[in-house]
Amino acid sequence: MKTPGDTGFAFPEWAYKPESSPGSRQIQLWHFILELLRKEEYHDVIAWQGDYGEFVIKDPDEVARLWGARKCKPQMNYDKLSRALRYYYNKRILHKTKGKRFTYKFNFNKLVLVNYPFIDMGSTGSSVPQSAPPVPTGAGTHFRFPPSTPSEVLSPNEDLRSPGGMFSSVTRRMARGSVSDCSDGTSVNSEIEEGNSGAPDERGERGVSGGGGPGGGGGYRSIIHPRLSHETLFRMYGGPGPGGASLLAPPLSPALSMTPTSHLPYTPSPTLSPMLGSHFSFNPEDMKRYLQAHTQSVYNYGLSPRAFLQYPNIVIPQPHRPAADKAALNAERGTAERAERAATAGGERGGERHHHPSLAHSAHHLPHHPHSAHPHPHSHPMHYPLHLGEEPPHMSPFKFKLQPPPLGRKQREGQSQSKPRQSSLSSGSGSMSSTSGLGSSLSFGSDLSSASGSGVISASSSTQSLSSAGLPKIKVEPISDIESEEEVEVTDISDEDPDERDEEYEHFSLRHSRASDHQQPNHRLANGTSASQHHEEDLDEDVFKAPAPPPPGLMPFFSSQHPHSSAQRGLPAVKSEPAEPGESNTSPSQTAATGAAQTKCIPLKLRFKRRWSEDQRMETSQEESDDKKVRPEEERERGKQSNGCMEMEEDGTGSGEGDSPPPLAYEGSLGTPLASHQRVSAELHRATAQLSLENKDC
C-alpha cells in the first residue's frame, strides 16, 4: 500500500529535501561537498582533514569542475564556488578555517539538525574521527562518524553493524548515487562512478544483511529508506501495532525512541534512518557526538529552526551540563553494543580532538538501558526532548532582531539607478513576497512548510495540501512553540539569524525565552559581562549554563501554560487542532510520567534560534561576524530562460521509494489521537523514502 502520501499527501517537504531548502530543490553545494568527501575517489581533490568537519580542497579547480558539472554550469570555477561557500558562512553551515588554504569546516550542528532532527544529541555515540562529519543513520539509534571514508557514509551497511566496524571502511563501492543528487549521473556522478562504478545496483548487490526484512532486502542502503519495512520502523518508533502504543504515547521522534518504556526502545535494527540513502547521511551517533562535543547544546547553536520544526521530538540535551550529564544522556539510547566498545568514557571531547580516526576514543558509556528508568529528571535522553523538563516559559529579552523588511537591491536600484548589469528593466516592483515569512510564521500544521523555509507561513502549498488532503491534522505542531527553544540561547551567534530570526524567534524564542538565561539580553553581552571573557568558548559555555531552570515539573511545554508566552506572541498556540493542548493526555505512564507527559507535548517545531557558535568554538574564532545575514530578497521575476543543460540522468537508482512508507512517528502532539499519529508516521515514512530520491533533476 501506498500511503496516502504517495498519492498526494503532502508531506513535509523537508523530508524530501532536507538540505535543500524550500526553494531550491536542487542539490546544494554543501551537500555536494559532503558527497565528495565521502568518496575515496575524490580524496585527492577534497578530503577531511583536521578537526571535526574540517576539510581541505586539494584541487580547487577540480572540485569546481565537478560542481559545475553537477549543476550544469561549465563555467564554474573555484572563485565562484568559493563564493557560494562563503554564503554558507552566514548560514553557519560552513566556516573557513583560517590560516589554511582551501580549508573549510562544516558546522554540523546546523546540518544535522536540519537533516536529521531526530538526532538526539544527548547521547553520544562513538567516537569520532576527526574531521569527518557525522552521519546520521538511523533514526534512532546512534550516530556514527564516518571517518574519512566516504563510502561508508554512503552505505549503510555499516550501520547495521555497528559503528565500530564501519570505520574501517574500506568499502567503498558505491558511489552510486552518491553524490547524490540526482543526476550526478551526469557529470559528477559519472565521475564518481568511474571510480567505482558500479553503482547501479547497489541495491541488489549489497545485500545486506539486513535483515530485516524489508522486502527484499535491499541492500544496505535501502534498508532504510526505501524499503523499510513498516514494521521495522514502527517498531523503532513505536509502532502502531498492537502493542505499540508507542506512538501514541510519546510522540517523539522516531529516532529517539519512545520512551515510554514500553517496548521497543529502539529497535533492533540498527539503521534505519530514513534518510540515509539519499544524500549523505550522517550517522546519528556521530553526529551526536559531534554535536555534543562541539556544541553541546543545541540550544546554543540554534539550530535552525526549521530543522526542528519538523521534529519536535528531538531531544536536546540540556544545556550545559557537565559531561556527566551528557554521558548519561547518551547512554540512554545506547545500544549496548556501542557502549561496550566505547568503554572509554572519558573523553569525549578530548578524544575527539585527536585525530585518530579510529574509534578508540569513543567513549560513551552507557549507563543504563535506554528505557530503563532513569532517575534523572531531565535527562531523559532520547525520548524527550530536552526542554521539556525544564523549559520555563520565559521570555526574555533576547535579542531577537527583527528586521524590517529588507529592501534590497531592487529598491536600491530603483532609487538609485538602474542596474548596471542588465539593462533590462525588470519590473521590479512587485514582488516581495519574501517578507511574508517573517512576520508570520505560524506554521501550523505543516512543519514542512516551515521547514521549508519560506514556508513560514505558509501555508501555502504544502500546507494546504496537507490540509486539504486530509492530513490536516497532523499538525502536530502546536507545540512547537513550546519547545522552542527554550534554550536557545544564545550563543553568540546571536544575532545572526537574521533571517530566521523572525520566524523562529517568534515562536520559540519569545516564548520561552526564558528565564534561564536571563542573563542576557543579548547573548553576547551577557557573556562578556558576567561570564567570561573568553571568546567564543566562553560564550558557549555560558550559554550552556545559563539557562537552566529546572524545575521539574514545570515545563509545560506548551501546553500548559503557555499562556503567557504564547499569548504574547500572538501565536496561536494551537495550531493544530486536534490536539490537545491542555492536558490532554498525559497519562501515561510510566516512567516518566510527568516528564513523559510533558514530553509528549513537545512541540513540533522546535526551533531554536541561535545557531552556531560552535563553529567557532573551535579554534578559530571567527565568529564575530554574525550579523550579517544574507538576504536579499528580491525577487523579481523576470523572464526566465531555460538553459539547456541537461545532461543526465543518473541511474536511477532511486526509485524505490514509493512503497513503503516508513513511518516515523514523531508527531508530537501529545494528545493527538492515534490516527493522527499514524498518519504522521506514514507520511514520514514516505518522506523518508523519497528522500532518497531527492534529487534528480537537473
Interface residues with DNA (CB under 7 A)? 20-24, 27-30, 60, 67-68, 71, 73, 75-76, 79-84, 86-89, 91, 96, 98, 100-103, 408-410, 412-413, 419-424, 426, 434, 437, 453-454, 499, 625, 628, 630-633, 635, 637-638, 640-643
CB of residue 257 to DNA, shortest distance in Å? 29
CB of residue 138 to DNA, shortest distance in Å? 24
The DSSP result for 306-320, as a single string, is: HHHHH-TT---PPSS
Residue 81 or 342: the one with the smaller Cβ distance to DNA is 81
Angle at 472 between CA 253 and CA 686, to 5 degrees: 50
CB of residue 57 to DNA, shortest distance in Å? 8
CB of residue 504 to DNA, shortest distance in Å? 11
CB of residue 402 to DNA, shortest distance in Å? 15
- If phi > 0 it is left, if psi is from -120 to 50 it is alpha, else beta; for residue 159 that is alpha
- Using DSSP, state whether 685 is helix, strand or coil: helix
Could you give the CA distance from residue 337 to residue 49 in angstroms, rounded to a whole number? 28
CB atoms within 10 A of CB 242: 6
Residue 32 or 444: the one with the smaller Cβ distance to DNA is 32
Residue 254 Cα distances to 5, 457, 663, 683, 692, angstroms:
18, 25, 8, 12, 18
CB of residue 410 to DNA, shortest distance in Å? 7
Residue 78 or 290: the one with the smaller Cβ distance to DNA is 78
CB of residue 28 to DNA, shortest distance in Å? 4
Q: Is the dihedral of CA 129, 130, 135, 139 positive or negative?
A: positive
Contact 55, 48 (CB under 8 A): yes
Contact 190, 169 (CB under 8 A): no
Cell digits for 586?
A: 498525559
Residue 80 or 376: the one with the smaller Cβ distance to DNA is 80
Cell digits for 529?
A: 559581562
Residue 342 or 432: the one with the smaller Cβ distance to DNA is 432
Could you give the CA distance from residue 662 to residue 224 in angstroms, rounded to a whole number? 9
Residue 375 or 639: the one with the smaller Cβ distance to DNA is 639
Residue 93 or 573: the one with the smaller Cβ distance to DNA is 93
Bridge partners (DSSP) listed for residue 135: 144, 282
Cell digits for 79?
A: 572563485
- Using DSSP, state whether 538 is helix, strand or coil: helix
Contact 636, 424 (CB under 8 A): no
Cell digits for 56?
A: 581541505
What H or E segment, with its residue span, contains residue 14? helix 13-16
Contact 123, 381 (CB under 8 A): yes
- If phi > 0 it is left, if psi is from -120 to 50 it is alpha, else beta; for residue 554 that is alpha
Terminal C-alpha separation, the chain: 30
Angle at 266 between CA 3 and CA 486, to 5 degrees: 85
CB of residue 136 to DNA, shortest distance in Å? 19
Contact 217, 257 (CB under 8 A): no
Could you give the CA distance from residue 368 to residue 332 in angstroms, rounded to a whole number? 6
CB of residue 568 to DNA, shortest distance in Å? 24
- Maximum distance among all Cα pairs of the chain, rounded to whole angstroms: 68
Which residue is it, cell 553545494? 29
Could you give the CA distance from residue 9 to residue 685 in angstroms, rounded to a whole number? 12
Residue 101 or 564: the one with the smaller Cβ distance to DNA is 101
Output phi, psi for 441, to 5 deg. 55, 55
CB of residue 518 to DNA, shortest distance in Å? 31
Q: Is the dihedral of CA 69, 72, 74, 77 positive or negative?
A: negative
CB of residue 610 to DNA, shortest distance in Å? 17
- Classify each residue of 179-213 as buried b or exposed e, where b means 16 or more C-beta atoms within 10 Å of its C-beta: bbbbbbbbbbbbbbbebbeebbebbeebbbebebe
CB of residue 432 to DNA, shortest distance in Å? 10
Could you give the CA distance from residue 84 to residue 86 in angstroms, rounded to a whole number? 5
Residue 566 Cα distances to 86, 310, 456, 488, 618, angstroms:
36, 19, 17, 16, 36
Cell digits for 49?
A: 582533514
CB of residue 79 to DNA, shortest distance in Å? 6
Residue 205 or 697: the one with the smaller Cβ distance to DNA is 697
Residue 73 or 518: the one with the smaller Cβ distance to DNA is 73
Residue 19 or 159: the one with the smaller Cβ distance to DNA is 19
The closest of 159, 155, 125, 153 to 286, measured between CA atoms, is 125
Contact 256, 116 (CB under 8 A): no
